[in-house]
Amino acid sequence: MKKHLLPIVLLLLIHIARADVIFPLTFVFIPYIPIIILLEVLAFLALRERLGLEIQAGRGILVVAIANIISSAAGLVVPGPYKSAIEIWFLSAYALSTLIEGVIYRVGMGKSAVKSVLLSAILNAVSYAAVLVAIITKML
């Protein structure tokens, strides 16, 4: 039964967020992507040893940058549900971004799926917190 729940949950998340994984990714938001990548790279470097990630810093930085570029591209391809509640949109975008980047970390870093998704969740929490602060303070 549990094996069948994951695809259903993913389909629901995709339907809700429509893969707009860097919130809300529009052409106006594109200039902020380097800042988001920088935030996640700095968080990666700060947490790399604490999380037991035995990966060279340069390779890790490259994988983090690639993961964010791919999740940003996904947000450009399929726009989000602009009429839904912002909280649902934000959390769905966070979940999808974490999933997409977790898969890339799994492949790029060769770590377990759990460690990859955990790393992705932590790094995305840093960048999404910054985006949330920017939205709240009307900087974005």
> What is the count of structural domains for the chain?
1
pLDDT value of position 77? 63
Is pLDDT above 90 for 27?
Answer: no
Instruction: Flag whether 7 is in a domain.
Output: no
- Which domain, by its residues, includes 32? 23-137
Instruction: Flag whether 1 is in a domain.
Output: no
Instruction: Flag whether 114 is in a domain.
Output: yes
Task: With H, G, I as helix, E, B as strand and everything else as coil, classify residue 29.
Answer: coil
| C-alpha–C-alpha distance, residues 13 and 126, integer Å | 21
pLDDT in tens, 29-71: 667 778 888 999 999 999 888 888 888 889 999 999 999 988 8
Distant-in-sequence, close-in-space partners of 108: CB < 8 Å, separation ≥ 6: 59, 62, 63, 66, 67
pLDDT value of position 84? 59
Instruction: Flag whether 65 is in a domain.
Output: yes
Instruction: Flag whether 118 is in a domain.
Output: yes
Residue entry with tokens 């930085």: 61
What average pLDDT does the segment 114-123 reach? 92
pLDDT value of position 19? 40
Q: What are phi and psi of 55, to 5 degrees?
A: -135, 140
What average pLDDT does the segment 128-135 reach? 82
Instruction: Flag whether 12 is in a domain.
Output: no
Instruction: Flag whether 5 is in a domain.
Output: no
Higher pLDDT, 1 or 77: 77
pLDDT value of position 36? 86
pLDDT value of position 81? 55
pLDDT in tens, 63-114: 999 999 888 877 666 555 555 566 777 787 888 889 999 999 999 988 888 8
Instruction: Flag whether 98 is in a domain.
Output: yes
